[in-house]
Amino acid sequence: MPATTYLDHAATSPVLPCVVEAVTHQLGQVGNASSLHATGRAARRVVEESREQIADALGARPSEVIFTSGGTESDNLAVKGSFWARRAEDRRRDRLIIGAIEHHAVLDCVEYLVRHEGAQVSWITVDEQGRADPQQVRDLIEEDPESVALVSLMWANNEVGTVEPVHEVAQVAHEHGIPFHTDAVQAIGQLPVDFAASGADLLSLTGHKFGAPLGVGALLTRRDATLVPLTHGGGQERQLRSGTLVVPAIRGLAVATTYATEHLESEQDHLVVLRDKMIQGAIDQGFDIRVNGPHQVGDVTHRLAGNVHLRVPGCDGDSLLYLLDAAGVECSTGSACQAGVPQPSHVLLAMGVPEEDARGALRLTLGHTSTDADVTAFLAALPAAVERAQRAHDTTRGGS
């Protein structure tokens, strides 16, 4: 079996050695951070020091850091919690303004609120590069400002890597007194993220995308933001997120966040070279491969430094994935599976990519363990995988 080349860091990234050390140490300690005795107070001290560390790294106040189990819970708390709180204040506020290419952790929240809570939705469309227009957000708000409960737009897209104008959209929302949420799950560690400077009222993040363990994240929440909690119990985390705090994971999240921000510039420099080599190498192989999303050599402002999203004509992304996997290259596609049937990416469709072309999407994402050898391995495995996938595609179409 060939050695594994891991190119799926946007799904999850390996835990950093310094994080393993910190988590391992904390796992050897006992204590519930809500207990009042000495052992409990020691655990609480670790939690609060970690909270301060994360806040310092991300331009927030410690009181604005609400620990969660990860990005999905943070998005749910932000979207549902804001909707319920704002509608409770004013029954007219039943409209959400949401990015069309959000992660399903946001989209499925919205679908739930539409089906079960009578929410209305206005969608923020994107151009062919996957970028939203702040002017459209303004136009959507001004259709009926008093009806809007929340505006939500992700910081960077998880599929095609497009960086969105979150600061400008936050300004537009605030001009009308509307809270703004951003899903920054893919941004931490690849882009400068400053909560205060961004203008966001709510910001979701998860640790396993940048070297922390699975199962821990945070929702950065301004003190004046009003939310209805999803869970009830002990009232931990400002009464917004009940549940016993997982001290070792929180410690790991703090160490990873500090590492990611301190090494941001060097990591960008490292990843963008690999990214550009991978993109150009794939294009040079002569299969009419296209790049999805914005791309200029060396650019880390409009596209994530570690994101490569390709469209390969005449084949299915799932076939490419399995063939590359068999060759030892692990990546992902831009498709989703619904009821056992592969569906083209909603992100690519929103960008105007024809459905047939969208089915041939391939996402390769780089991270802190990525090397030049990974790029070489992918480019070596790609031609045979494409040729076989195209033959299988032609056979399927010919027999249908």
CB neighbourhood size of 373 (10 A): 10
Q: Angle at Cα 35 formed by Cα 34 and Cα 38, nearest 5°?
A: 125
> What pLDDT is stored for residue 47 in this prediction?
98
124, 316, 361 from 291: Cα distances, Å? 23, 16, 9
Domain spans of the chain, in order of start: 5-13+263-399, 31-261
Give the mean model confidence (pLDDT) for residues 105-125. Answer: 97
Nearest one of 184, 149, 200 to 74, comparing CA atoms: 184
User: What is the rounded CA–CA span in Å between residue 214 and residue 340?
Assistant: 26
CATH value of 5-13+263-399 in 3.40.50.2300, 1.10.3720.10, 3.90.1150.10, 3.40.50.1860: 3.90.1150.10
For tokens 């990416």, name the residue. Answer: 345
For tokens 């959000």, name the residue. Answer: 102
Does domain 31-261 fall under CATH 3.90.320.10? My reply is no
pLDDT at 340 exceeding the cut of 70: no
Which residue is catalytic, options 18, 109, 315, 337?
Answer: 337
DSSP state string for 286-331: SS--EE-S---TT--SSB-TTEEEEE-TTS-HHHHHHHHHHTTEE-
pLDDT at 338 exceeding the cut of 50: no
> What pLDDT is stored for residue 317 in this prediction?
87
pLDDT at 352 exceeding the cut of 70: yes
What is the share, in percent, of the chain residues with pLDDT greater than 70?
Answer: 96
For tokens 């991270």, name the residue. Answer: 367
Continuous segment of H or E residues that includes residue 392: helix 372-399
> What pLDDT is stored for residue 289 in this prediction?
95
pLDDT at 398 exceeding the cut of 60: no
Q: What is the pLDDT of residues 150-189, one digit of tens each?
A: 999 999 999 999 999 999 999 999 999 999 999 999 999 9
> What pLDDT is stored for residue 43 in this prediction?
97
Give the mean model confidence (pLDDT) for residues 40-49. Answer: 97
Long-range CB pairs of 137-140 (<8 Å, 24+ gap) are 137/97, 137/169, 137/172, 137/173, 138/172, 140/97
Nearest one of 215, 221, 206, 224 to 243, comparing CA atoms: 215
Put simply, whether the predicted model's pTM sits higher than 0.85 gets the answer: yes
> What pLDDT is stored for residue 343 in this prediction?
79
Residue 331 known to be catalytic: no
Collapsing DSSP to helix, strand or coil, 327 comes out as coil
CB neighbourhood size of 259 (10 A): 21
User: What is the rounded CA–CA span in Å between residue 198 and residue 261?
Assistant: 16
Q: What is the pLDDT of residues 290-313, one digit of tens each?
A: 999 999 999 999 999 999 999 999
Q: What is the pLDDT of residues 220-262, one digit of tens each?
A: 999 999 999 999 999 999 999 999 999 999 999 999 999 999 9
DSSP state string for 357-382: HHTTEEEEE--TT--HHHHHHHHHHH
